[in-house]
Amino acid sequence: MATTKKAWSTREKLDRENSVTRARLLRAARSVFERRGYARTTVADITAAAEVSRATFYVYFASKEDVFAVLAAEVRDGFLNAQELTGLDAGDPHAVARATVSAYLDAYVEHLAFITVLQHQAITDPDMYALWEAIHSHPRRRTVRYIEQATAAGLAAPVAPPEVVATASGGMIAAFAPAVANDPADRDEIVSHLVTMYLGLLGITPEAPSIA
């Protein structure tokens, strides 16, 4: 009997996680958070935007904090997925730099509005700071591993420790993301500059521009 109850509970949990209603609540919550900020958003705001009852909200989430944490985890996963690049020659640092910088910038632009809310709240809220740290620490660690591997293979000679280079490169992309969000037409030029600066931090000479 206990086994049957556990199986039912697991199925019920999976049904909730894959629910269309849950997805609608998440979309609505993100929209409200981005528009009103974290502190001013209420469960009532979220349910109104999703056009569901408060009782329905509590079927899927325990609180405003809970739904915000789920959204933050989705953003974290978005950044990690941006680094899951296939078909690249790991021995070509120029190709790796172009692909990773482009993907990371695009992910940052996509999630910029939510990140802005999270950063603002993280200033005074330790829990929000922990969420923000989780979002950017995972990609940073991956970058550190790549720099270490490229250095060991003789492909890079970083100008500073890998952790410093990874932090600096991530910071550069974050700094330029608002400009791309404001004017997407500038994206390719900004990517080109970011790649050049990233390669410089890695101690790699940028590729010479092609001559038409």
**Chain position carrying tokens 């910088």:** 101
Contact 156, 93 (CB under 8 A): yes
pLDDT at 79: 85
Of 104, 123, 96, 71, nearest to 177 (Cα)? 104
pLDDT at 101: 94
Task: Count other C-beta atoms under 10 Å from residue 143's C-beta.
Answer: 21
Structural domain 67-202, CATH architecture = Orthogonal Bundle (1.10)
Token couple for 158 = 């970083």
pLDDT category, 130, cuts 50, 70, 90? Answer: confident
On the question of pLDDT at 70 being above 50, the answer is yes
Token couple for 48 = 């109104």
3-state secondary structure of 86: coil
Give the chain's radius of gyration (CA, Å). 21
DSSP character string of 97-117: HHHHHHHHHHHHHHTHHHHHH
Q: Domains of the chain: which residue ranges?
A: 9-61, 67-202
**Whole-number Å distance between alpha carbons of 59 and 134:** 26
* Cα 149 off chain centre by: 23
pLDDT at 102: 94
Domain spanning 9-61: CATH superfamily: Homeodomain-like (1.10.10.60)
Q: What is the pLDDT of residues 2-54, one digit of tens each?
A: 555 544 443 355 455 568 999 999 999 999 999 999 999 999 999 999 999 99
Q: Give the pTM.
A: 0.81
CA distances from 59 to 3, 15, 26, 52, 55 (A): 23, 11, 13, 11, 7
